[in-house]
Amino acid sequence: MEGLEVIMKKKAAGIVSICVAGMVLYTGPVYAAGSNSAAVMADAVTEQSRTADDIQVESIKEVVSMPVGAAALLDSRKTEEEYKEAAEEAEGALWGYTNLGISNVNDNLNIRKTPGEDGKMVGKLPKNAACELVSEEGEWTYIRSGKVEGYVKSEYLLSGWSAKKRALEEVSTVAVVDTTTLKVREEPNTECEVITMVPRGEELDVVEIMDDWVKIMIDDEENYVSAEYVIIEEKLASAITMTELLYGQGVSNIRVDLCQFAKQYVGNPYVWGGTSLTKGADCSGFVLSVFKNFGISLPRTSGSQANAGTKISMSEAKPGDLIFYAKGGRINHVAIYIGNGQVVHASSPKTGIKISNYNYRTPAKVVRVLPKD
């Protein structure tokens, strides 16, 4: 069985199995292999009849779903150094996690500073969000996710193959803006109208990858961006920090209460024409229902809501004020400003109710409908 190789491609999942006579003896990351190594196969290989040069792994989804077995064994032409390089490239390629965990809850999983129900809460891990599993301490697991790290109850986490399987169902393809400001257009050409502008680092949900353009979803509408100025990535949701959940000093109680009330519905579905905070709402239906809970009546549509209060500048905005966005000069989306440069809004059928940067697209108008502090 001398001279059999692991077929890997950059960013392929770094999990392999050592097999002898079709029996799996070991599963784990490969760091090196000598010339006398045992027969080795990787999740990335396919049928026996294909050579090493033929193997193409197009995505992490393909890697994780690849079959494994004795038929996957191929002739080796790699040196020990090439093995090491391939292993380093593959390590952590499961969407950036080396030991992937997925939250298995109906809403949000609390992340605490210490392992106990009385531990200070440092963040929340939304339903089906991903994390790095670091260590276990009794009934608790220490995790890292996004900008948050802390302890969660182990019983509410998926790991191993269960986590990979759930991740495959939940992973999204996003276009990350890789220029200072990106123009979003109505059609895939430079002659058409610019719908809005998006800052560097924003992640746009991908609908379709074309030759020179990427069809993306901004809120509940499909638009286009130049493929030259974005980086396509596969992403899983991550934890929400306490900074995103709480506010600074000097904010009135009604503003704090309204924003806290609105954010408890993050992760719930977007439904066009809906006004239910639990079963589904569109952008204006979400705003209408949140404010209704505090005795404030608003019109039904975002265009009408934009004329319901007092226009203010973005520099004057406080948590609880409304930020409006437009297409072709017409208001078509509304969000609630929650402070710290962020908004909560019913975005799209794909993402549901979520938290975004206030300038994830160019604001068209800021309105205050709450009473003066």
- Per-residue pLDDT tens digits for 302-337: 999 999 999 999 999 999 999 999 998 999 999 999
Note whether 293 and 261 are within 8 A (CB): yes
Note whether 344 and 336 are within 8 A (CB): yes
What SS3 state is found at 25?
A: strand
In a domain, residue 373? The reply is no
- How high is the pLDDT of residue 241? 81
Query: Residues 190, 113: one domain?
Result: no
Total of domains in the chain: 4
DSSP 124-135: EEETT-EEEEEE
In a domain, residue 8? The reply is no
Residue 71 has pLDDT above 50, yes or no: no
In a domain, residue 288? The reply is yes
pTM, full prediction:
0.64
The whole-angstrom separation of Cα 25 and Cα 174 is 38
In a domain, residue 227? The reply is yes
The whole-angstrom separation of Cα 193 and Cα 77 is 53
From 41, 56, 90, give the residue that closes a domain: 90
Residue 69 has pLDDT above 50, yes or no: no
Query: Residues 63, 145: one domain?
Result: no
Query: Residues 322, 293: one domain?
Result: yes
Residue 7 has pLDDT above 60, yes or no: no
CATH number of domain containing 225: 2.30.30.40
- How high is the pLDDT of residue 244? 67
Mean pLDDT over 179-184 rounds to: 96
Q: In which domain, by residue range, is 108 found?
A: 100-170
Q: What is the mean pLDDT of the chain?
A: 80
Place of tokens 């409006």: 324
The whole-angstrom separation of Cα 356 and Cα 343 is 5
Among 40, 93, 112, 97, residue whose Cα is nearest residue 70: 40
In a domain, residue 182? The reply is yes
Query: Residues 285, 310: one domain?
Result: yes
Query: Residues 219, 326: one domain?
Result: no
Alpha carbon distances (Å) from 196 to 127, 222, 328: 30, 12, 9
From 67, 90, 113, give the residue that closes a domain: 90
What SS3 state is found at 188?
A: coil
Among 318, 296, 319, 326, residue whose Cα is nearest residue 308: 296
- Per-residue pLDDT tens digits for 207-253: 999 999 999 999 989 999 999 999 999 999 999 887 666 654 455 67
| Residue 96's pLDDT band (cuts 50, 70, 90) | confident
- Which region holds residue 146: left if phi is over 0, alpha if psi is between -120 and 50, else beta? left
Classify strands 322-327 and 121-126 as parallel, antiparallel or unpaired.
unpaired
Higher pLDDT, 82 or 229: 229
Higher pLDDT, 181 or 13: 181
From 59, 90, 121, give the residue that closes a domain: 90
Place of tokens 């026996």: 48
Query: Residues 226, 335: one domain?
Result: no
In a domain, residue 241? The reply is no
In a domain, residue 267? The reply is yes
Note whether 84 and 243 are within 8 A (CB): no
Query: Residues 44, 115: one domain?
Result: no
| Residue 301's pLDDT band (cuts 50, 70, 90) | very high
Query: Which residues sit opposite 310 in a β-bridge?
Result: 368
- How high is the pLDDT of residue 243? 67
In a domain, residue 31? The reply is yes
- How high is the pLDDT of residue 254? 87
| Residue 186's pLDDT band (cuts 50, 70, 90) | very high
CATH number of domain containing 275: 3.90.1720.10
Structure tokens at 335: 């969000």
Query: Residues 176, 161: one domain?
Result: no
Query: Residues 178, 164: one domain?
Result: no
Query: Residues 165, 181: one domain?
Result: no
Amino acid identity of 75?
A: D
Query: Residues 141, 231: one domain?
Result: no
Query: Residues 60, 85: one domain?
Result: yes
- Per-residue pLDDT tens digits for 18-58: 333 333 334 444 333 343 333 333 223 333 333 333 334 34
| Residue 107's pLDDT band (cuts 50, 70, 90) | confident
